[in-house]
Structures are given as structure tokens and as C-alpha cells.
Amino acid sequence: MIDKEKIKKAVREILEAIGENPDREGLLETPDRVARMYEEIFAGLHCDISKSIKIFKENEHQEMVLVKNIPMYSMCEHHLLPFIGVVHVAYLPKKGRILGISKFARIVDMLAKKPQLQERLTSEIADTIVEAVNPLGAAVVIEAEHLCMTMRGIKKPGAKTVTSALRGVFKLDERTRAEVMMLINTR
């Protein structure tokens, strides 16, 4: 689990290292605040995602399901700065197995709440859906702004990184892939 005392000590040391006084009034509670924040934003490190997935039996539905614009934030593992954006998730169920709609957002949240790379997160979401319901196909597209590009380095606010992960028919069938991308891009 998260060692909040260790985080508090480390934050205090960082404040000292940048030339701040961790004992001044505005910073007195900062180490504790950061420790509690890390416990929340890195909660995905210590959870079993399979316990949050609900599968329903539905023999009639075999059409594409798309959930668009799921808000997402995660922490870039290279700089420990946030990347923030939206996730679009689609799958084509096999007869008899569908995933509860709210579970898409839960999967996104749980996998994003750890030090992450956008590329890996995109694949992990797709693979989790494939593992859970064994669909005919799954597609995940993430559009995100990385604060490591906005605040430091190249300093390009507003630049979006787009990643995709395609599984099954979304990867193999050009028409199915075109359909899901058209639906994702329809505003």
C-alpha cells in the first residue's frame, strides 16, 4: 500500500531542496496534502480490476457498443506530471456476453490511477476488455494533453497526443475499423 509517512518526508525534502522553507505557514500541511493526494491518484496500483467488471448475459445484442469522451487523468511516469484527456472505448460483443456500460469508465479510472504511459494505458484498456468478455473486437482511442509538454521542455500548451489500440475485427476488418473511427470522430 501507499506509505504516506515516507511520502511526507520526501515532499519535505523536496521543498528544502528547491530552497523553500517547509516550516512556513503556507507549506506546513503540504507534505500531508501531497501524501493524501498520491494515495488517491495512485489507487490503481493496489486494486484488482477484475473485481470491478460486471458481465451480463445478453443473447440478442451483437452490435457495436461505443462509450465516448470518458474523462481521464493519469500521471506520466517520466516526470510525475499529469496527462489529461478523454478516452473512447468500443467493442463488438460476441453473442451472450456484454459489459456493463459504467464499467468502461471504471476500467479507465483504475488503469489510469498509477504512474503511466499513454501508449501503455491505451493497450491495457483494450486488453482488459478483451480478457473480460472475449469480444469480436475492441478499440480504444485516447486524446490527451501532457503537462510535461505544456509546463516544461518544449512548452506547447494545447498539443494533444492521440493513441489507439485495436483488437480483433477492429484491427483486421477495414470497414469495421472505419466505422468505429467515424463514430469516435463524430462530434
To the query of whether residue 47 is one of the catalytic residues in this protein, the response is no
Of the candidates 88, 116, 118, 124, the residue annotated as catalytic is: 118
47 is in an annotated binding site: no
118 belongs to the catalytic site: yes
Cell numbers standing for residue 33: 496534502
| Beta carbons within 8 Å of 28's beta carbon, 6+ residues apart | 22
- Annotated binding residue at 76? yes
Check if 62 is active-site. no
Backbone angles phi, psi at 2, to 5 degrees: -75, 130
Options 5, 78, 119, 131, the catalytic residue: 78
Angstrom distance (rounded) from CA 170 to CA 150 = 32
- Please, what is the end-to-end C-alpha distance for the chain in angstroms? 41
The catalytic position among 5, 77, 119, 131 is: 77
Is 148 tagged catalytic?
yes
Q: Are 135 and 129 in contact (CB under 8 A)?
A: yes
59 phi-psi bin (left φ>0, alpha ψ -120 to 50, beta other): alpha
47, 62, 148, 179: which one is catalytic? 148
Q: Annotated catalytic, 79? A: yes
Q: Which of 76, 88, 116, 124 is catalytic?
A: 76
Q: Is 79 annotated as a binding residue?
A: yes
Catalytic residue among 39, 47, 62, 79: 79
For this structure, is 46 an active site residue? no
Nearest-10 Cα torsion for 70, 76, 80, 82: -30
Assess whether 76 carries a catalytic annotation.
yes
Please enumerate, by residue number, every residue annotated as part of a binding site for Zn(2+): 76, 79, 148
Please enumerate, by residue number, every residue annotated as part of a binding site: 76, 79, 148
The residues carrying an active-site annotation are 76-79, 118, 146, 148
